[in-house]
Amino acid sequence: MKTILFLILIGLGVTACNSSRNIVKLTGVKWVLEKLDGKPLQMKENGNKVYIHFNDTEKRADGMAGCNRFFGGYELDGKTLKFSQMGSTRMACPDMEVESAFFKMLENTDRFEIKDHTLLLMNRNQVLAEFKSEPLKEK
C-alpha cells in the first residue's frame, strides 16, 4: 500500500513539473496582437505587427502600435493590470485608426488572463484584445 501511494505521489510530482514548464508568464515574451475589439487585426501595410512587451524589473511596457513605438508604466496585482503614463512616437501612417483603438484599449484595460499562450487584456469580464506569445529575440 505504501509503495502504491509513493508511486502516485511521484507521478503527481512529475506531472506538476511538466505542466509548470508550459506556463507562459506576462513578462519575458513578445505579445503579438491577434484580435482587437473581437475582430482579427487587419493592417494596411504588410509586415507591420502590433505587439507589447512587459519588463518586470522596471514595471515598464513597450512595443509597436503598428506604426509608432510606444512605452509607459504598468501596475500588476494578481490578475489586475493597469497601464500608466503611456507615450509614443508621432509618425503618421495608414494604420492610425488601429493605433487609436489600440491606445484606447490599453487605457481601458483593468485585468488580464493568460490561456494556452494567449494573453487576454480585459475590462471587467469583456475581452478587449487578444495576443499570441512569441519568444523574445536577444538584442
Taking only the tens place, the pLDDT of each residue in 1-46 is 555 544 444 444 433 333 344 456 899 899 999 999 999 998 877 6
Bridge partners of residue 36, in order along the sequence = 39, 129
- Encode pLDDT of 70-112 as tens digits: 999 999 999 999 999 999 999 988 878 889 999 999 999 999 9
In a domain, 58, yes or no: yes
In a domain, 59, yes or no: yes
Do 61 and 54 form a contact (C-beta atoms < 8 A)? yes
Residue 77 exposure: Cα atoms within 13 Å on the Cβ side: 4
**CATH number of the domain to which 58 belongs:** 2.40.128.270
In a domain, 14, yes or no: no
In a domain, 120, yes or no: yes
In a domain, 36, yes or no: yes
In a domain, 68, yes or no: yes
N- to C-terminal Cα separation, the chain: 55
Domain residues for the domain of 113 are 25-134
In a domain, 15, yes or no: no
Q: How many domains does the chain have?
A: 1
In a domain, 90, yes or no: yes
